[in-house]
Amino acid sequence: MKKEHSQNGITLEAPLEESSGKYPRHIQVVMKGNYAAAEAARLCRAGFIPAYPITPQTTIVERLSELVTEGKLDATYINMDSEHSVFAAAMGAAIGGERVFTATAGQGLFYAHEVLQAIAHFRLPMVVCNVGRPSIPWNIWSDQSDSLSQRDTGWIQFYGESSQEVLDTIIQAYVLAERVNIPAMVVLDAFYQSHTSENVWIPDQNLVDRFLPPIQPGEMAIDVLQPKSFGGLIPPEHYNRLNYNYWKAMNQAEAMAEEIATDFGAHFGRPYGNVEAVNIGPETRLVLVTISSITSTVRGVIRDYPEVGLLKLRLFKPFPKEAVKRALAPLSKNAVIAIVERNFLGDNEGAIMQEMKRALYGSDLRMYDFYAGVGGKDVPPVTIEKIIHRAFHQPEEVNWIDVG
């Protein structure tokens, strides 16, 4: 069966020699995912960067410090005393009307939880990178429990499959965040992405400048001539109305993200969508649902399984219900959905299964959940093959693969 790649990015199938000259007004560089994130912050002209180190995010803030020192990024860079303070400072600078960038991981994101809520409910646009890792017992390896557990803080969330996608998504996330006044988080995998070198196409600055104009301070920005009180005690009826407005903006975010991703393709030559469907058609018997770098492994495996397709989620919050429904629409009634979870949120089902059930409520499609790779446990092709076999042969509703 012919595979359809509705979205590209730098895929495993793209040989490097064919790539040279592929994107005009770009340079091709081999770099680690964390450096790609820092490059994106530079290209987006982040003006304020509060920083606090945490493995495996550290090289992002180290690189940003270098970029500021080298004069390649005109930003105010401040070493804070904790992630809680990092996000509180980010909030202050965003209320001051600046474009803010920072990065964190695991415990740092958990520690900032209170401030994530405040930033979102202040309706402050900013972009933050999270390099996913779980909590105690100490574990620094790839896992999305940190960011997925923050899905209800009101932030937009994207998950990047490759370093290229992380860089490109940060640019798109700023456009989206500043359009809807909602902060956005771009998540990459610990080590598999953060510390792994890949080819990355870096666009020219003026290409980015045309796509992402300077930030326009909105209603929630300090104006000394028109003083306001920000965030004071608010009566229930007004609080309710603010949340109604927030809900309306969040409801627009899915379609807007899709539109921005399409525009990005026109500007930069690399189109994206909220989801990516590979080999999903009437003959497909099984669809694996993934986020982040496990997607690349699945791409490789399903070449040998013509009856298996892939649904990659790039946007996770707001959950792209429409895109998911559209992507799965060609499936026959007997097709099966298998979800690969690299997170554990203390419930029976993983985070992605919960959202997929919500999106496909009323559908006849059978859905099975597969915990694989929690705490950074490797998910090699053979693990994906096990998931495929189990999904075809009497799976439980929720399964753990390769528990040692």
Partner 1 sequence: MKPANEFLIKDEKVYSGALSCRGCGWSLLARHLASILGEDTVYVAPASCFSIISGPYPLRELKANLVHTVFAAAPATATGVRAALDRQGKEDTTVAILAGDGGTFDIGLQALSGAAARNENILYIVNNNGAYMNTGIQTSTATPYGAVTTTNPGGGFKRAWPKDLMGIIAAHNLPYAATASLAFLEDLRRKAEKAKKTQGFRLLMIDGPCPPGHKTDPAESIHIARLAVETRLFPLFELEGQHYTINYRPEKYIPVEECMKYQGRFKQLFKPENRHMIEDVQAHTDQYWMRLEALAGM
Q: Verify binding: residue 235, partner 1, rule CB under 8 A.
A: yes
Show the tokens assigned to 14: 């793209």
Q: Verify binding: residue 364, partner 1, rule CB under 8 A.
A: no
Q: How near is the Cβ of 328 to partner 1 at its closest, in Å?
A: 41
Long-range contacts of 266-270 (CB under 8 A, 24+ apart): 267/207, 267/210, 267/211, 268/23, 268/26, 268/168, 268/203, 268/207, 268/211, 269/22, 269/23, 269/24, 270/8, 270/9, 270/23, 270/164, 270/168, 270/201
Nearer to partner 1, 129 or 374 (CB): 129
Query: Residue for token digits 């109604």?
Result: 244
Alpha helices in 83-202 (DSSP H): 83-95, 106-111, 113-121, 145-148, 163-180
Estimate to the nearest angstrom the gap between the alpha carbon of 87 and the chain centroid.
18
Q: Verify binding: residue 300, partner 1, rule CB under 8 A.
A: no
Closest CA to 173 of 136, 139, 126: 126
Q: How near is the Cβ of 86 to partner 1 at its closest, in Å?
A: 8
8 A C-beta contact, residue 61 and residue 103 = yes
Q: Verify binding: residue 234, partner 1, rule CB under 8 A.
A: yes
Q: Verify binding: residue 118, partner 1, rule CB under 8 A.
A: yes
Q: How near is the Cβ of 70 to partner 1 at its closest, in Å?
A: 19
Q: Which of residues 132-161 bind partner 1 (CB under 8 A)?
A: none
Q: Verify binding: residue 378, partner 1, rule CB under 8 A.
A: no
Applying CB under 8 A, which of residues 15, 21, 137, 232 lies at the interface with partner 1? 232
Whether the bond between 318 and the residue before it is cis, its omega within 30 degrees of 0, is: yes
Amino acid at 83: E
Applying CB under 8 A, which of residues 19, 69, 79, 205 lies at the interface with partner 1? 79
Q: Which stretch binds partner 1 (CB under 8 A): 73-81, 305-313, 315-323, 337-345?
A: 73-81
Q: Verify binding: residue 51, partner 1, rule CB under 8 A.
A: no
Q: Verify binding: residue 98, partner 1, rule CB under 8 A.
A: yes
Applying CB under 8 A, which of residues 20, 81, 266, 394 lies at the interface with partner 1? 81
CB-count burial class (<10 Å; 0-12, 13-18, 19+) for 17: exposed
Q: Verify binding: residue 321, partner 1, rule CB under 8 A.
A: no
Applying CB under 8 A, which of residues 94, 156, 278, 338 lies at the interface with partner 1? 94
Nearer to partner 1, 49 or 131 (CB): 49
C-alpha distances in Å from residue 251, one per residue of 156, 266, 274, 298: 11, 25, 14, 31
Query: Residue for token digits 């791409």?
Result: 299
Amino acid at 133: R
Q: How near is the Cβ of 178 to partner 1 at its closest, in Å?
A: 15
Q: Give the footprint of partner 1 on this chain (CB under 8 A).
A: 47-48, 50, 76, 78-82, 84-86, 88-98, 100, 114-115, 118, 222-224, 227-235, 238
